[in-house]
Structure 1
Amino acid sequence: MNRFTRRIGAVGVLLLLAGSLAGCGSGGDSGGAGGASSGPMDATKAGLPKSADDISGTIDKTKVKKNLVVGVDNPYYLFHHDIDVALAKGYFKEFGIDSVDIKTIEDPLPPLIGGSLDLALYDTDTAIAAAKKSGQGLRFLSVYLGGEANVLGVGKGINTGADLKGKTITGGQFGSRNDAIIRQLLRDNGVEPDRDVKIVSTGGQSNERLQSVIAGTVDGASIQLRHRTVLEKAGGKVLFEETREVPQSGWSANKLLQESPETVTAFLAATLKARQFITDQANKDEVLTIMRDKKFEIPTEYADAYAAENAPDYHVSDGGFKPADMDKFISDQITYKTVPDGTDWRQYTYLLPLWRAQKALGLPLNPALADM
């Protein structure tokens, strides 16, 4: 997920105090294809529609909440542009939503659970773990970033794996997913961690790790795709990299899903329509203009990463994912102790709003019903 593993212990009390949010739904996507929900929603077989024909792609705008407040944990424009483009292009109004206020919050789960946020964009594993711990209505809805770039950036004078001998490398904090995947990247390229190189634990996020490489504090670090040009201008380079399909982050909802599921569907339809626009590379300049007008700083080096960061299989164009990828991701996170043992992600994932949004946009259902 290329960010530090989230600590969810601090929100445990809030999860317990959130109370039961599993009351009656008010719209057309509770339980199955319609009707009221009698408990927390999930995408296990017992709660699935029988066929795609049972899923409605028609959104009743009279049941849609007009003004939303959502939380996003990352200030980088990539995590905001679905909403801002949807606002600029009129997609929210098309589906019955008048305004969306974005709050940039390091950890949006507590206010989501407390009810001051309607939806939150956050790490998939953390949201699912919190949903299990709460036992209430928090549900994961759709994938935002479905690609995971594992990139080792190095400083001057390092040109091969052999040049790493005795050097200092960081993937971030020990025990995080970043730490684990940078170790695997090294092994995949013939470098054994803790034998050939010294792995150190560091704080901060990827921007801080990039600066540590440029400053020479470490010889190499896990960085992001957008950092390549910045690092090269400083005399460094990307030594190893790989991109995998990992449903690393996405949207979750809590109280809104129980009180107005129609709004959740409308929100996903509007933002997925924006994402279809964004991932069409012909629209790059217009998207960046919209975001710069919103006062986001996007230097040329970061704009150069647009094609990679907004590829349809990275910033997934339909919000979907492969269940097998989610199985592996959650299994990995259980191993890393960020998700409780025995977690079945399907119990804490509710896909009907996503399927309805996909259908409203004329997209195939993803995941397919048969795969769930």
Structure 2
Amino acid sequence: MNRFPKLLATVSACLVVVGSLAGCGGSSGSATTAAPLDASKANLPKSADDINGTIDTSKVKKDLVVGVDNPYYLFHEDIEVAAANGYFKEFGINSVDIKTVDDPLPPLIGGSLDLMLYDTDTAIAAAKKSNGDLRFLSVYLGGEANILGVAPGINTAEDLKGKTITGGQFGSRNDAILRELLQANGIDPAKDVKIVSTGGQSETRFQALLAGTVQGASIQLRHELLLQQAGGKVLFKQTRDVPQVGWSADRLLRDSPETAPAFLAATLKARQFITNQANKATVLALMRGKKYNIPPAYEDVYTQENSTTYHVADGGFKPADMDKFIADQIGFKNVPPGTDWHQYTYLVPLWRAQKALGLPLNPALQGL
């Protein structure tokens, strides 16, 4: 999922992508000459009493534009449910326009996006490289499924030897953890199989597997049933807690300090609705009505993908999980050496949103 090779160009200059989305202009009052937003441990609130859970809706930016890099409904549902249920208006936001783009980093830094939903490590790496106001705010997906799907006729690790497989783009997290998965199951990635680099996201890898271009690929939970129906199977599977995807913002944090807490409060309230399994039919009907592609096989994994640990119910995470995740990403060369995620993770908007909703602060102040 990571796009580290793009970061050097992204943070050194605004790139022209997706037409007007990536313009380097931006709202007045950007803090390009001010010291970067201080998100260090020393600048955290001293106690929960210092966190203001009352959002001043008169100071919230009314119309927002956000970037999402994945067209799958799971990455859009918080916004759609928040809009449909009136949660945005409750917290002072009139509209949220979603832009689905391959790489939302340039337009976020350029100022034409207010927030982005993107890989956690990519956002933190870009924040360190840019030394500006880009900050990671909140976890969206906190679970990770490392799954190797294989073509018909492959039933054992021995059958996999000599076959062509892909974990995505070389150097990405998916590529690295697939190699780990192979090693854990007795397969030498360098000798026993031919690993190829593919662009795009998990859908691209899955289609390559179905087409026979590769005989094995890193896939997602929603692909398992479709693969079985096509005669293939899951050969290896591993799940774990990883704060892999979340919301980030840049100049919005200075230009409109009330807006990020308002946006997170509205979308977290939506997520409470979504992860309540009693609302499954309502959520799916809404998303299908919005023309999102949700075949029966994808509907079948709603419970897994919208569990409170996978689609994290409160936007929080365990600091130890983030420590390990960023350390792993430094090892994979997706995050610069020496990166301290605390410096580039601004939790005040999340805490304010959690407090506004009556949720416990997560992460807890004491644990950081």
Question: Does TM, scored on the shorter chain, surpass 0.5?
Answer: yes
**Are positions 1:243 and 2:232 aligned together?**
no
Contact 2:37 2:132 in 1 (8 A): no
What's the counterpart of residue 304 of structure 2? 308
1:353-372 equivalent positions in 2, closer than 5 A: 353-372=349-368
Deviation larger for 309-318 or 211-220: 211-220
Q: 1:350 to 1:18 in 2, by over 3 A?
A: farther
SS at match of 1:8: helix
2:40 corresponds to = 44
Can you give the 5+ residue segments of structure 2 that lack an aligned partner in the other structure? 16-23
For residues 15 and 4 of structure 1, do their structure 2 counterparts lie closer, same or farther at Cα, with a shift above 3 Å needed? closer
Contact 1:14–1:113 (CA<8 Å) still a contact in 2? Answer: no
Would you say 1:217 and 2:213 are equivalent positions? yes
* Residues 346/224 of structure 1: CA separation in 2 closer, same or farther (3 Å cut): same
Paired residue type of 1:107: D
Q: Match of 2:319, as an amino acid?
A: P
Q: 2:181 matched to 1:185?
A: yes
Does residue 141 (structure 1) correspond to residue 137 (structure 2)? The answer is yes
Change (3 A) 1:103 1:60: same
> Residue 30 of structure 1 corresponds to which residue in structure 2?
none
The aligned residue for residue 73 of structure 2 is 77
Deviation, structure 1 residue 49: 0.6
Within 2, Cα distance between the matches of 1:196 and 1:135?
Answer: 42
What is residue 322 of structure 2 aligned with on the other side? 326
Residue 155 (structure 2) aligns with: 159
d(CA) in 2 for partners of 1:174, 1:73: 19
Contact 1:15 1:133 in 2 (8 A): no
Structure 1 residue 101, shift from structure 2 partner: 0.8
- Does structure 2 conserve the Cα–Cα contact (< 8 Å) formed by 1:23 and 1:258? no
Residues 285 and 342 of structure 1, relative CA distance in 2, 3 Å threshold = same
2:55 paired residue number: 59
**Cα drift, residue 166 of structure 1:** 2.2
Tell me by how many angstroms 1:184 deviates.
Answer: 0.9
Counterpart of 2:232 in structure 1: which amino acid?
A: G
Query: Cα 1:179–1:155, aligned 2, differ >3 Å: closer, same or farther?
Result: same
State the TM-score, normalized to the length of structure 2: 0.92
Q: Which residue of 1 aligns with 2:335?
A: 339
In 2, Cα distance between the equivalents of 1:362 and 1:23?
Answer: 35
Q: Does the CA-based 8 Å contact 1:5-1:177 persist in structure 2?
A: no
Change (3 A) 1:355 1:338: same
- For the residues of structure 2 that align with 1:339 and 1:89, how far apart are their CA atoms? 38
Corresponding residue pairs, total:
358
Q: 1:281-292, aligned counterparts within 5 Å? A: 281-292=277-288
SS at match of 2:98: strand
Aligned to 1:293: 289
